[in-house]
Structure 1
Amino acid sequence: MPPSARPDPSLAQAVLAACRAAGVCIATAESCTGGLVAAALTDVAGSSDVVLGGVISYSNAAKVNLLGVQADTLDAHGAVSEPVAQQMARGASDRLGAEIAISTTGIAGPGGSEHKPEGRVCFGVTTPKGTTSETVEFGPLGREAVRARSVEHALTLLLTAVETL
């Protein structure tokens, strides 16, 4: 991602500071963002005390094998869905031992379909209080812009999750 497309580093710094204050660690499970959320966090020096790791699960097989996403959930809802995003986040939390985990799965583009258009991204967040999810329609902004906005949104979701513990 070019420097101009990177999220504001102060957002990642705020996430890390909030995690330190709350005494929690975080993990990522990324599909459409391909590790960019973890990269934004680990671009900050000293992040290793809070960031345990991340899983890039671009294929359905990786989602199943690395994160424990249920094959029947993928069959019923498809990879770009809130149920899959929830299972990805829970899988990252369980496998990496993090109290907080974020997941991204979507269609960055180009392409998409009538039922799953370009720019649709599903996010999952796991905390000790449970797992939530949401879908954001960024629209057909182009691959780089969808991914950049997804990273920023994921960091915002992480910050909110930690601040509401």
Structure 2
Amino acid sequence: MTASPASRIVSMMAARGQTLAVAESLTGGMLTARLVDVPGASAVVLGGIVAYATPLKHSLLDVSAGLLDEHGPVHPDVAIAMARGVRERLAVDGSVADVGVATTGVAGPDPQGDSPVGLVYVAVADARGALVRELRLAGDRVAIREGAVQAALDGLLDLLGGRE
């Protein structure tokens, strides 16, 4: 049986002595929950911040207020800023998380500003830089949120070099 993406992430990061911080908007804690479902996750996952309300992306994750004002919360640069910001915000004893991952988007049922239902950005960041993916997901809220979680896990595996 093949290990789940979350299991592979936790295993790879634990073996490397790496830590992970999670910033979520539309996924509302689902990504963090998926990761901490894995036995041994406490060695890797420092925590998660659910910044569902747009102002919290600024106050909790250090996303620039100007960026949020100009583009709104559903934007690739916002996702990157969330992934970078959560690494810093969830630092333990002055050590930032090795990797940050973030989700932002529109799960529906209604569009958010100019952003249509199903538009999602997932970002991963480490000391080397950041990667962001734009997704156009279909389905209901549950399907869109689940697709965002899967994309975040895939992004982490890509960053770690662990995609099968």
**Same topology, TM > 0.5:** yes
Tell me, in whole angstroms, the C-alpha distance in 1 between the residues paired with 2:75 and 2:3.
28
Helix, strand or coil: the match of 2:154? helix
Helix, strand or coil: the match of 1:150? helix
Q: Residue type of the partner of 1:87?
A: A
Q: Residue type of the partner of 1:133?
A: V
Tell me the CA shift for residue 9 of structure 1.
Answer: 6.8
Match of 2:27 in 1: 33
Tell me the CA shift for residue 160 of structure 1.
Answer: 1.2
- Two-structure CA RMSD over aligned residues (Å): 1.7
Match of 2:68 in 1: 74
**Structure 2: gaps spanning 5 or more residues:** 91-95
Question: Does the 8 Å CA contact 1:18/1:159 hold for their aligned counterparts?
Answer: no
The 1:9–1:79 alpha-carbon spacing in structure 2 relative to 1, beyond 3 Å, is farther
Percent sequence identity is 39
Provide, for residues 65-94 of structure 1, a one-character-per-residue CA deviation record: whole Å limited to 9, x for no partner.
110011100011110001110110011011
Tell me, in whole angstroms, the C-alpha distance in 2 between the residues paired with 1:62 and 1:94.
15
Match of 2:93 in 1: none
Tell me, in whole angstroms, the C-alpha distance in 2 between the residues paired with 1:30 and 1:100.
14
Tell me, in whole angstroms, the C-alpha distance in 2 between the residues paired with 1:32 and 1:60.
11
Question: Does the 8 Å CA contact 1:12/1:41 hold for their aligned counterparts?
Answer: yes
Tell me, in whole angstroms, the C-alpha distance in 2 between the residues paired with 1:39 and 1:75.
30
1:63 to 2:67 alignment: no
What's the TM-score once normalised by structure 2's chain length?
Answer: 0.90
Tell me the CA shift for residue 114 of structure 1.
Answer: 8.3
Helix, strand or coil: the match of 2:84? helix
**Structure 1: gaps spanning 5 or more residues:** 1-7
Tell me, in whole angstroms, the C-alpha distance in 2 between the residues paired with 1:40 and 1:131.
22
Stretch moving more, 15-24 or 108-117 = 108-117
Helix, strand or coil: the match of 1:62? helix
Provide, for residues 76-127 of structure 1, a one-character-per-residue CA deviation record: whole Å limited to 9, x for no partner.
1110001110110011011112110110000011111683111110111111
Tell me, in whole angstroms, the C-alpha distance in 2 between the residues paired with 1:113 and 1:71.
18
Tell me, in whole angstroms, the C-alpha distance in 1 between the residues paired with 2:23 and 2:43.
18
